């Protein structure tokens, strides 16, 4: 008789962990599926373009031609690349930026529509002279940010970069493109 009671008790004890485990699995399996879907499909499907190094820009002091700083740049040469710019980027490393190259010196104007991070926007003439700097621009702003004079190049860097590296209007840039 005592053997039968022990057997019944063991069976009851063994059922308890099974139900607890099953209840936990009911919540864990959907959570795991959701996390998997998020990382495989939703996160990859974001609008944020991947940053690609396509060249370098060096900033030089106007008087001494002393090296102030150097960044790796993504290059925007076509109308499509220029209209996309740095829109939808959620972050950018300190030593990175974007170089916009136009066919000739013209009055240029940029805005921050769909641009998430604050930027310093530098307008540069065909000789490499920085003629206009818009510092710490406001994300998502549709306000026009024009060059003061005709410019062939525009460089965008993180907001505050020019102040941190002593870059001012009148200073110069040199650039080198990787093979495209």
pLDDT in tens, 94-146: 999 999 999 999 999 999 999 999 999 999 999 999 999 999 999 999 999 99
**Band of pLDDT at residue 44, cut at 50, 70 and 90:** very low
Selection from 179, 174, 177 nearest residue 75 by Cα: 177
DSSP per residue over 54-72, as a string?
Answer: -EEEEEE-TTT--EEEEEE
pTM of the model: 0.74
Angle at 56 between CA 161 and CA 143, to 5 degrees: 45
pLDDT of residue 180: 62
Asked whether the predicted pLDDT for residue 17 surpasses 60, the reply is no
Q: Which fold has domain 55-177?
A: Jelly Rolls (2.60.120)
pLDDT of residue 87: 93
Asked whether the predicted pLDDT for residue 5 surpasses 60, the reply is no
Query: How do beta strands 96-106 and 151-158 pair?
Result: antiparallel
In whole angstroms, give the CA distance from residue 46 to residue 44. Answer: 6
pLDDT of residue 48: 81
């Amino acid at each position: 008789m005592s053997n039968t009671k022990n057997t019944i008790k063991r069976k009851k004890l063994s059922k308890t962990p099974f139900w607890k485990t099953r209840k936990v699995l009911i919540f864990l399996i959907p959570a795991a599926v959701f996390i998997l879907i998020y990382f495989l499909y939703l996160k990859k499907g974001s609008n944020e373009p991947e940053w690609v190094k396509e060249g370098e820009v060096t900033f030089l002091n106007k008087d001494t031609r002393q090296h102030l700083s150097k960044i790796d740049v993504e290059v925007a040469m076509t109308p499509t690349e220029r209209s996309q710019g740095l829109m939808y980027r959620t972050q950018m490393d300190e030593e990175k930026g974007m170089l916009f190259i136009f066919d000739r010196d013209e009055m240029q104007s940029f805005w921050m529509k769909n641009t998430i991070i604050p930027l310093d926007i530098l307008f540069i003439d065909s000789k490499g002279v920085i003629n206009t700097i818009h510092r710490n621009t406001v994300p998502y702003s549709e306000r026009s940010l024009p060059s003061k004079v005709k410019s062939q190049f525009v460089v965008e860097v993180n907001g505050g970069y020019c102040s941190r590296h002593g870059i001012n209007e009148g200073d110069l840039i040199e650039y080198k493109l990787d093979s495209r």
